């Protein structure tokens, strides 16, 4: 496997519904443009699917948390859940 710098800690998963925030895509529905890291999301940003607060999100490492294949590491939906 080849490490992809842009993937490292680039996504955070909601511990409630599994929704993934992908910093490369942002959250357009919430007015967050692509490229905004999770750490810089507004304090009142919430899970676009279930409304869980930021504190319920956990950083996920594509190498550690993902399946053996690096093609897709989101068990639910690739990229942002909407
Ligand atoms: Zn959620």
Instruction: Give residue-wise pLDDT tens across range 41-59.
Output: 999 999 999 999 999 999 9
- Tokens describing residue 40: 């810089």
C-alpha 8 to ligand 1 mean position (Å): 21
The confidence score (pLDDT) of residue 60 equals 82
Closest CA to 32 of 20, 19, 21: 21
C-alpha 16 to ligand 1 mean position (Å): 5
**Mean pLDDT, all residues of the chain:** 77
Helix or strand holding residue 13 (H, E): strand 11-14
Per-residue pLDDT of the chain (82 residues; tens, 9 = 90+): 655 554 455 689 999 999 999 999 999 999 999 999 999 999 999 999 999 999 999 998 754 444 444 444 445 444 556 5
Neighbours of ion ligand 1 (CB under 5 A): 14, 16-17, 19, 47, 49-50, 52
CATH, domain 1-82, list 2.20.28.10, 1.10.275.10, 1.10.760.10, 3.30.1950.10: 2.20.28.10
Domain ranges of the chain: 1-82
- Tell me the pTM: 0.65
The confidence score (pLDDT) of residue 1 equals 64
49 within 8 A of 14, measured Cβ to Cβ: yes
C-alpha 46 to ligand 1 mean position (Å): 8
CA distances from 29 to 7, 54, 63, 77 (A): 22, 16, 28, 16
C-alpha 47 to ligand 1 mean position (Å): 5
């Amino acid at each position: 496997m080849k490490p992809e710098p842009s993937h490292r800690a680039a996504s955070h998963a909601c511990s409630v519904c599994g929704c993934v925030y992908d910093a490369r895509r942002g959250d357009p529905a919430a007015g967050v443009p692509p490229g905004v890291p999770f750490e810089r999301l507004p304090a009142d940003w919430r899970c676009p699917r279930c409304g869980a607060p930021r504190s319920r999100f956990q950083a996920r490492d594509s190498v550690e948390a993902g399946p053996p294949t690096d093609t897709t590491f989101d068990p639910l939906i690739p990229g942002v859940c909407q």
